[in-house]
């Protein structure tokens, strides 16, 4: 009996996504930050986008994950933002007005860059002792040669 061969669609695309709280307010407090990162990873894993590293500080989040073959980056970010926003609002009265900024940035990461980006995300607290989120964000946009208009980047 002849074997029937079926073609497969295969991919492995690493994505580093960054977005902030609305108006970069320092709303992600120490009492929820680790749980928020785990919750974010869970959303990604449920979307078949294995999380590699989630981190950040009080006003923004960095996410490194493998892009699934069936979801767009926009769909993934929307589900992460919606899910985490709903979740964090259950964590107390101080979070009732929590919102993420409307935009985000996504950067491709090579296989050889995974360790470097993972360490970068893990060291966010130390990194932001020397640099604000806005300075970091501008430097990422410049590094990846993404044109932007300051007037529309921040909300």
Domain edges within the chain:
13-146
Say whether pLDDT at 10 is over 60.
yes
Say whether pLDDT at 6 is over 70.
no
- Say what the pLDDT of residue 2 is: 62
> CA-to-CA distance for 65 and 49, rounded, in angstroms?
6
What average pLDDT is seen over the chain? Answer: 93
At 20, list the tokens. Answer: 């902030």
Say whether pLDDT at 35 is over 80.
yes
> CA-to-CA distance for 137 and 130, rounded, in angstroms?
13
Q: Which fold does the domain 13-146 belong to in CATH?
A: Alpha-Beta Plaits (3.30.70)
* Local confidence band at 1 (pLDDT 50, 70, 90 cut-offs): low
Long-range interactions of 128-135: CB distance < 8 A, separation 24+? 128/57, 133/20, 133/24, 133/57, 133/59, 133/60, 134/24
Residue of 33 and 1 predicted with greater confidence: 33
Using CA atoms, how far residue 47 sits from 38, 58, 76, 86, 149, in Å, is 14, 25, 8, 17, 32
At 129, list the tokens. Answer: 């002792």
* Local confidence band at 8 (pLDDT 50, 70, 90 cut-offs): confident
């Amino acid at each position: 009996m002849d074997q029937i061969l079926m073609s497969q669609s295969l991919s492995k695309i690493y994505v580093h996504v960054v977005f902030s709280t609305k108006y970069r307010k320092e709303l992600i407090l120490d009492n929820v930050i680790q749980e928020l990162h785990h919750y974010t990873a869970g959303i990604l894993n449920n979307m078949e986008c294995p999380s590699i590293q989630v981190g950040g500080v009080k006003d923004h989040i960095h996410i490194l994950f493998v892009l699934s073959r069936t979801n767009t980056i926009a769909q993934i970010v929307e589900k992460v933002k919606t899910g985490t926003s709903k979740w964090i609002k259950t964590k107390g009265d101080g979070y009732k007005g929590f919102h993420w900024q409307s935009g985000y940035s996504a950067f491709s990461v090579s296989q050889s860059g995974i360790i470097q980006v993972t360490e970068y995300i893990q060291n966010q607290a130390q990194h932001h002792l020397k640099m604000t989120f806005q300075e970091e964000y501008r430097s990422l946009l410049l590094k990846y040669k993404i044109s932007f208009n300051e007037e529309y980047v921040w909300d």
